Amino acid sequence: MKSWYFTVGLVLVSGLFVLPGLAEDGAEVPEFYFTRLVYGNGGGPARVPSGEFRCADLERGEGGTRFNGGWGTDFPASDCKFMWGVERLTNIRVHDKSPHLVTALDPKLFSYPYLYIVSPHRMNLAPTEAAALREYLLRGGFLHMDDFWGLEQREIVTEELHKIFPDRSMVKLDLSHEVFHTFFEIDKIMQIPNVNNACSGRETWEQRSEIDPMIFGISDDKNRLMVLITYNSDLGDAWEWMDQPCYPEKYSGQAYRMGLNFMIYAMSH
């Protein structure tokens, strides 16, 4: 790990502002929100579900998917536990009271420099959603796509990305890229398995059509990384089950290191 710690003040990211300070009740405003995108499957624009889940209500070792998978895979435990990890490993104030959800058409989307999409092969963006995400990314936003496996799912994700950027293709990243060195020194593209495979000691891949882990990216005209794609890996499961005794620390530790690097890159570029 690098010997310095990352401190956020006023962050300007190509047109996006994150403004820490004091809320009306005198509490400090978070410097970082782990923001998960709620997406639909073709039945119209997505909506954030009603109700609120408090991270403090999580029991040790608790996980499980709510809202029938898709955008909600690993939700809410992975979000809460990743934010707790950010607090432990850095001095960044995070929003850790409850998971933070937005849709592509939420006007507040432009307030948050980091956006997470899980299981993107289940996503079907409407034209208005794709246009909003394109504007968000070109104005300085950062999108992390995670947890899809094999050539069939990869083709679906490529088609969804083409809706956002018909003129840009995802490119395989190597370890020389700055995103792997923003906080931790990442020297290996490790495959992060789902909890069942990890705890049983089975293979770490899920689809035989393509088994190697890869990380892809899409950059803007100034070579700023806008989209980062962790393919054939499941960082969300590693965050979700990090306190499950059977889940190996080598996977959860690597998932935290990569997630923190991606987050800090998003906040500083």
* Residue 60 token pair: 């040790």
Q: What CATH number should be reported for the domain whose range is 30-268?
A: 3.40.50.12140
Q: Is the peptide bond before 30 cis (omega within 30 degrees of 0)?
A: no
Give residue limits of the domains in the chain. Answer: 30-268
Tell me the pairing of strands 114-118 and 35-37: parallel
Summarised one tens digit per residue, pLDDT across range 115-136 is 999 999 999 999 999 999 999 9
pTM of the model: 0.88
* Residue 181 token pair: 């060195």
Q: pLDDT at residue 90 above 90?
A: no
SS3 assignment, position 226: strand
Average confidence (pLDDT) over 159-188: 97
Q: pLDDT at residue 54 above 60?
A: yes
C-alpha dist (Å) from residue 93 to 20, 24, 74, 138: 9, 17, 23, 26
Residues 118, 200 contacting (CB under 8 angstroms): no
Q: So what's the pLDDT on residue 97? A: 79
Output 26 or 47, whichever has higher pLDDT: 47
pLDDT band at 66, cuts 50/70/90?
low
Q: pLDDT at residue 67 above 80?
A: no
Percent of the chain with pLDDT over 90: 68
Alpha carbon distance 9, 173 (integer Å)? 29
| Partners of 36 in beta bridges | 101, 116
Average pLDDT, the chain: 87
Residues 119, 70 contacting (CB under 8 angstroms): yes
Residue 181, C-beta contacts closer than 8 angstroms, at least 6 positions apart: 261
- Residue 66: its H or E element: none
Summarised one tens digit per residue, pLDDT across range 209-245 is 999 999 999 999 999 999 999 999 999 999 999 999 9
